[in-house]
Structure 1
Amino acid sequence: MGLRKKNRSPPVLSHEFVIQNHADTVSCLAMIILLGLMFEITAKFAIMFITVQYNVTQVLDVKNDPVNLYHYGPKDVATVFFYLLIIVILHALIQEYILDKMNRRLHLSKTKHSKFNESGQLAAFYLFSFIWGCSILTAEDFSKNPTFLWDGYPHTHMVFQVKFFYICQIAYWLHALPELYFQKVRKEDIPRQLNYISLYVVHISGAYILNLYRLGVVLLVPHYLVELLFHASRLFYFSDENKQKGFTLWALLFVIARLLTLTLSVLTFGFGLPRTKNQGFSLVEGNFNVLTIRMSCLAAICLTQAWMMWKFINFQLKKWREHSQKQATKKKTASPKSKPHKKEHTRGAANGILKPDDKTSPRVRRVKNS
């Protein structure tokens, strides 16, 4: 496949061999699944991996044509796995042909090199997901009817774009786990990345399984916009440390996004869902509109937002301290150096005994003999 350039040939099945050739291996596996479509025996299994499953044809209106809608099921695991492979390949392409070339030009340190790769990958993903999410919200007319977050719950059926959006979202964040190994992420960075990867997987999968996909998309779009701005600002900062204006805008939008998330979550779980007609718990109908689940979801969102605000405040305080230290250092270097005290050299001093100057010394008075 040749996705990565190999400078040397490490031993087969060694760690270095797996890391260097993981994109090629994944490409071969994806090709095997695609080739399964060519044979009748394997086609029904290959389709389960490639196409979106559980489609249902419904007639929403007598005047309109039938519409294909989808719901979720166990076969979605196979679909998520296949698109996880595709995302691993795309990750390797972005790394090889974009980020590595930029790194060679910037000559970054190891720490900045790792953060640059992380921000580059995430910025590309957030940009794509933000545009995709906006197109979904535009089609759903959320701005005209905000109550669609809870009206008609449970929302067991979704259009193709919504289901495929969630399949790709879950696949992306699951692919980030093996990428910690493939990208040789530093040990001190692994806990931080595991935290936010786990939060994304839990929250997105929870919205998908609990039939809260409408609320999930609405909350993801502003969140991805804020994260996109942060990682884009960090990329500009690595290219030129004087470019820090983006962080100021990010800080403002970060707080607004947290308040918006809390507001919509309280409206949905505290006021909207309790007033809908379908109350109760039913796995068959996909109804999870009971007090326990509503409060658990609201508590999970509130705790996550509180944790994010705590990390944000600590980050801002750290930056403020660093800025204060830099300003103090600049003042010290800019202030004039204290001049050494001039030693008063007395003329005619020798061996620590001061001798009066010849010109100013009083003449020795002679005593007259009477």
Structure 2
Amino acid sequence: MAFRRRNKSYPFFSQEFLIQNHADIVFCLVVFILIGLMFEATAKTAFLFILPQYNSSISIPEGEVSVYHCGWRDCVTILFYFLITIILHAVVQEYVLDEGYLLNLSSLWENYPHVHLRFQVKFFYLFQIAYWLHALPELYFQKVRKEEIPRHLKYISLYLLHISLAYLLNLTRVGLVLLFLQYLSELGFHVARLFYFTDESHHKLFDMWAVGFILTRMVTLTLSVLAVGFGLGRVESQGMDWEAGNFNTLPLRMAVLLLVCLTQAWLLWKFIRFQLRRWREYRQEQAARRRSATRQPARTVKSGHHENGVIKAENGASPRPKKIKTP
């Protein structure tokens, strides 16, 4: 995947070649490390690059807690995230700063229809459609449980529908920005899961992701209404022009907005239900802990006193001996 514009080819391993292609070279190194996670023989080495090292468990009154200390293997982890930072910087430079979609919002709808795409943009959309199409047969190949198939089909269908409409209706600029925000939110969720799997005490990242998830929904709705509702509404066409690729009509724009709004509302509704269920489970767990902490062991009280090893009743009489039944 190319991150930078290429106006001229330079000799291999020259300074200009490295400057122009540094993001692609680094991206290949990161992919090579991630591929190592797929094989048992190399997974242990690959995890050295991704996960923090030198962890140990200590016992505290609340339970076991994982702690870390420093060592030379931290250099390997720092190297991996150093490469990740270079890639992210190149992506932001190319798709946010140089193209100016976020800094100049009017470019999202100006000069519509956007029928002329650069190679990177066209390749990105084709790859996205192919990726989500491949997820359909993977449900069979991975032997996904039947009760989980409807949930997977909903998300795959929503991604395919939105990406395909953005590509076919020449709304590629709006689609790029919204997909960037969506994938950024999902990246935060998977990073939180990764740290949670390494140590269950790292659950605060989920709270940060929850805030980012809500902000992503709000920004998505705002940009969609601004670009499709108001921006394209200024240059609305009386009818669709298939040859020119102009689909800027009122019914079609309203249909696109309705689809985006319903999808974001559905995602928010599922998110709120999940958070409420999680909050109720947390409250029930805390109440059970308080009850177990305040509960005291029952004491057995026996009336009478001991005298010469024999229990005497309060009136001085010996308790009636228990009859033993003969077999």
TM-score class normalised by the smaller sequence: 0.5 to 0.7
From 113, 127, 152, the counterpart of 1:193: 152
Structure 2 residue 100 is the aligned partner of structure 1 residue 141: yes
Distance in 2, matches of 1:131 and 1:170, equals: 23
Cross-structure match for 1:227: 186
Cα offset, 1:99, TM superposition: 10
* CA offsets 1:337-363 (integer angstroms, 9 cap, x no match): 243252332689xxxx967449xxxxx
Alpha-carbon distance change, 330 to 131 in structure 1, aligned in 2, over 3 angstroms: farther
1:260 aligns with 2:207: no
Which residue does the alignment assign to 1:332? 291
Distance 1:180 1:98, change over 3 A: farther
User: Matches of 1:237 and 1:146 in 2, distance apart?
Assistant: 37
SS in structure 2 of the partner of residue 144 of structure 1? coil
Report the more deviating stretch, 296-305 or 137-146: 137-146
| Aligned counterpart in structure 2 of residue 282 of structure 1, from 229, 236, 241 | 241
Q: Determine which structure has more spread, i.e. the larger CA radius of gyration.
A: 1
Residue number in structure 1 paired with 2:280: 321
Partner of 1:50: none
Per the TM alignment, residue 138 of structure 1 is displaced from its structure 2 partner at its CA by: 2.8
What is the DSSP-based 3-state SS (H/G/I as helix, E as strand, rest coil) of the residue aligned with 1:289? coil
1:176 aligned to 99, 113, 135, which one? 135
Kept in 2: contact 1:281–1:288 (CA 8 A): yes
Alignment equivalent of 1:308, drawn from 267, 271, 279: 267
Deviations 1:143-201 (A, max 9, x none): 33110111111111111111111111111111111111222222222211111111000
CA RMSD of aligned residues (A): 3.5
CA shift at 1:262, angstroms? 0.6
* Alignment pair present for 1:269 and 2:228: yes
Maintained 8 Å contact 1:155/1:212: yes
- With over 3 angstroms needed to count, the CA separation of the structure-2 counterparts of 1:99 and 1:193, relative to structure 1, is farther
Taking structure 1 as reference, are residues 198 and 153 closer, same or farther at Cα in structure 2, changes over 3 Å only?
Answer: same
One of 188, 197, 213 as aligned partner of 2:172: 213
The 2-side partners of 1:136 and 1:216 are apart by: 12
Alignment of 1:286-297 (within 5 A): 286-297=245-256
Give 1:211 deviation, angstroms: 0.2
Q: 1:98 to 1:206 in 2, by over 3 A?
A: farther
Per-residue displacement from partner, 1:293-350 (whole Å, max 9, x unpaired)?
Answer: 00000000000001000110111112112212222232233335243252332689xx
1:131 Cα deviation (Å)? Answer: 7.1
Counterpart AA for 2:256: C
- Equivalent in the alignment of 2:30: none
Amino acid corresponding to residue 225 of structure 1 in structure 2: L
Q: 2: CA distance between counterparts of 1:213 and 1:279?
A: 22
Q: Which amino acid aligns with 1:316?
A: Q
Q: How many residues align?
A: 247
Higher relative contact order (CA 8 A, sep 6+): 1
Q: Distance in 2 between matches of 1:293 and 1:276?
A: 14
Tell me, yes or no, if structure 1 residue 246 matches structure 2 residue 219: no
Q: Please give the alpha-carbon distance, in whole angstroms, between the structure 2 residues aligned to 1:91 and 1:181.
A: 24
Whichever residue aligns with residue 201 of structure 1, its letter is L
Alignment of 1:1-370 (within 5 A): 95-96=38-39, 132=91, 135-276=94-235, 278-340=237-299, 342-345=301-304, 356-357=315-316
CA pair 100-300 structure 1, distance change in 2 beyond 3 A:
farther
Residue pair 1:174, 1:201 contacting (<8 A) in 2 also? yes
Aligned-partner residue type, residue 172 of structure 2? Y
Q: Deviations over 1:51-109 (max 9, x none)?
A: xxxxxxxxxxxxx99xxxxxxxxxxxxxxxxxxxxxxxx9987544599769x9xxxxx
* Greater alpha carbon shift after TM alignment, 188-197 vs 301-310: 188-197
Cα contact 1:279–1:290 (8 A) shared by 2: yes
- Shift in CA distance, 318/129, structure 1 to aligned 2, threshold 3 Å: farther
TM-score of the superposed pair, with normalisation by structure 2: 0.66
Equivalent pair of 1:219/1:261 in contact (CA under 8 Å): yes
> Using the alignment, how far apart are the partners of 2:37 and 2:131 within structure 1?
14
Q: Deviations over 1:97-127 (max 9, x none)?
A: 599769x9xxxxxxxxxxxxxxxxxxxxxxx
The C-alpha deviation readout for 1:245-286, integer Å capped at 9, x for no partner, is 110001001110000011111112221111026553111110
CA spacing shift, 1:332–1:167, aligned 2, 3 Å = same
Q: Which amino acid aligns with 2:200?
A: E
